[in-house]
Structure 1
């Protein structure tokens, strides 16, 4: 039976993976309320429980040609559908992040590589040399290690630095605790080994993420890199305004897939206030809960420049490796193209807030 939507990949991935691996990929913090809200909020507005998000299509437009291309940080992508950072892709497929990178390159979209990738940065780059890559950084207490990593990704051609801000400590992930999952003891984190220092940093401990990172530290990062800096994990207008004040180049509205603090807003609900706060001064992106082309369209209509996929990429990887990720991306791109066509949008520029209706249940 063909896999025709992202939920088909989810079902097949669950059959193929061990329980502990599946729980790691799918698990959320505590009760998993935010993880689930991320998905359902695209259908209904969870802040106003009597309302739901619906589309307002426009017809009698010439939609014989529909262009899904757009840019992020000045680089063109084939569609506003990219790959969010997630670690340990080798738990889903032997080639791990190398397969993911090849699929992203084939699809013409951006892949944000995680600090906790299970393949080396050099291998990821060499397997997909022309792909658009950003690097996600979990800030370490050792500034020199951060500097080494940033210089390394710059030399390898990564085009942006994505600093995750919502993990001063790891969320309470009950499934992983019950399963006694300890990925850092089972996987060599090759990203952190410089080629000339193979034995100097055997592991990067998940527990060593900096708890002291604050707004004033951003100037230090800006002083050591020319890469645009994107903050991942912003959910409020107050932090969005501070991001603009501190001269970063972008925000990813994210709640870490519901894996950090439970009972925070779904990302599509937080998006509007963040977009309003930045007033167009920096680009705003979104991850969390995107499962259909309509979801992509709604996110863009509410102000996102691009969406980033997390779990669905791992589902595709678990099912068919590189080709599974390609299929997931192509299904979503085709659905998005259809959504644009059926709402009368011939280009990304024609997607606007006018497409959205909050209708009463």
Structure 2
């Protein structure tokens, strides 16, 4: 098995990798500069990208001691299922850019480690192939499919029917990226997706014809954004599927309440990893107001900047039902394929258990008590 640059694809962990930060550093050996810019970069000045990590680090834990901890566990309930731990792999496109096994390696590792998997619409592996790898694993987490709402409604119906038939358990509609952010790092590096890597699950879709523009009109506002998703589109999507639909990228409390009113089954507080609108608040800051807004009507998940097990504990303490992990999975994938992804997820699971034990949390229901007063 070789990479596109002719080098043998790695399948064993590099020496000295004991943290997610180590994985990121070592992945630079395998990812060329342009692909690194695509995976690791953010929008504009990357203020939000940096803030996501820093915000979790600023939150402080205040341990309790002398508590009975035997029989503790990391289990949580989510959409009618019991998860062995509250971690899912976030949807990420074109994973074969990181490793020839791409989404197949990620799926195998996630299923084996009990992590949920959210497969990207822009995956480089057929959704049916991913489902066949994940579903037989008895301790697997949830298997969800991420969507962008496409103008070709006939294609959308067909795609969703494929998703349902393959055994996916929910849809994740990304709502925060009607256009791509201004990714300066990516453009400086000259990133261009290699032709051999395509979004195979989007084959056959019809691209909308460009609208004729009058002098002074905007190609963005008067053409592209005429297809941007609206609340009415969520109603249409619910009418053609029996699967629960979570909305990813809802950050304003009013939008959270609107999503519940329109039948969303869950919310993922996300700023797209800092890749869309720069200077947005960090997701750690956005999470508590969203939890307060929906008042338990639907589960609230969060992504962005999760790099330690302590971050997972803090997210649950602030009201998240689970977290999604993105870039670190790609780093592990680049370093050692499925073995690397499994190592990333295992590190987070181990660190979460250690953080719980040292904070006096027998289960994650105890997590709120681990936060320091005014520790944010």
- In the superposition, the TM-score normalised over structure 2's length comes to 0.87
- Number of residues paired by the alignment? 345
Q: Does the alignment pair 1:255 with 2:271?
A: yes
**Whole-angstrom CA distance in 2 between matches of 1:64 and 1:2:** 32
State the 1:144 CA deviation: 1.4
Distance (whole Å) between structure 1 residues aligned to residue 208 and residue 84 of structure 2: 34
| Aligned residue among 180, 183, 191 for 1:181 | 191
- Change in Cα spacing, 1:210 to 1:118, as seen in structure 2 (3 Å) is farther
Aligned partners of 1:209, 1:149: CA distance in 2, in Å?
22
| 1:111-130 matched pairs, under 5 angstroms | 111-130=117-136
Summarize the alignment of residues 36-75 of structure 1 with structure 2, pairs less than 5 Å apart: 36-44=50-58, 53-75=59-81
Aligned alpha-carbon RMSD (Å): 2.0
Deviation digits for residues 150-203 of structure 1 (CA, Å, limit 9, x no counterpart): 11101100001000001110111112222332327452221124xxxxxx4599
* Match in the other structure for 1:16: 30
Deviations 1:251-273 (A, max 9, x none): 00000000000000100000011
| Cα deviation digits, residues 97-126 of structure 1 (max 9, x gap) | 000000011011210000000111122122
Asked if the contact 1:29–1:261 (Cα under 8 Å) also holds between the matched residues in 2, the reply is: yes
Q: Which residue of 1 aligns with 2:341?
A: 325
Question: After the TM superposition, which residues 15-34 of structure 1 pair with which residues of structure 2 at under 5 Å, given as runs?
Answer: 15-34=29-48
Residue of structure 1 equivalent to 2:165: 155
Q: 8 Å contact 2:246–2:266 — kept in the other structure?
A: yes
Question: In the aligned structure 2, how far is the partner of 1:359 from the partner of 1:89?
Answer: 37
How far, CA to CA, are the matches of 1:202 and 1:16 in structure 2? 35
2:116 is equivalent to residue 110 of structure 1: yes
- What is the CA-CA distance between 1:43 and the residue it aligns to? 2.1
Distance 1:293 1:179 in 2: 32
Compared CA separation, residues 310 and 204, structure 1 to 2 (3 A): farther
The 1:58/1:125 distance shift into structure 2, 3 A limit, reads same
State the shift of 1:5 in Å: 0.9
Secondary structure of the equivalent of 1:147?
A: helix
Alignment of 1:165 with 2:175, yes or no, is yes
Separation (CA, whole Å) in 2 of partners of 1:233 and 1:223: 22
What's the offset of the Cα at 1:90? Answer: 0.1
> Once structures 1 and 2 are overlaid, which stretch shifts more, 80-89 or 183-192?
183-192
Contact 1:118–1:188 (Cα < 8 Å) also in 2: yes
2:245 is matched with 229
Residues of 2 paired with 1:226 and 1:2: CA distance? 47
By percentage of residues, which structure has more strand? 1
1:86 matches 2:92: yes
2:131 match: secondary structure: helix
| C-alpha contact (below 8 Å) 1:298/1:356 kept by paired residues | no
Distance 1:125 1:306 in 2: 21
Structure 1 unaligned spans of 5+: 45-52, 194-199
Q: Are residues 185 and 233 of structure 1, via their aligned partners in 2, closer, same or farther at CA, if it must alter by over 3 Å?
A: same
Q: Given the superposition, is the C-alpha separation of residues 101 and 359 from structure 1 closer, same or farther in structure 2, using an over 3 Å criterion?
A: closer
TM-score of the aligned structures, taking structure 1 as reference length: 0.91
Which residue among 153, 157, 181 is the counterpart of 1:143?
Answer: 153
Asked whether the equivalents of residues 37 and 191 of structure 2 are also in contact (C-alpha less than 8 Å), the reply is no
Tell me the distance in 1 between the aligned counterparts of 2:233 and 2:339.
Answer: 40
> What's 2:101 paired with?
95
- Relative distance call for 1:118 and 1:227 in structure 2 (3 A) is same
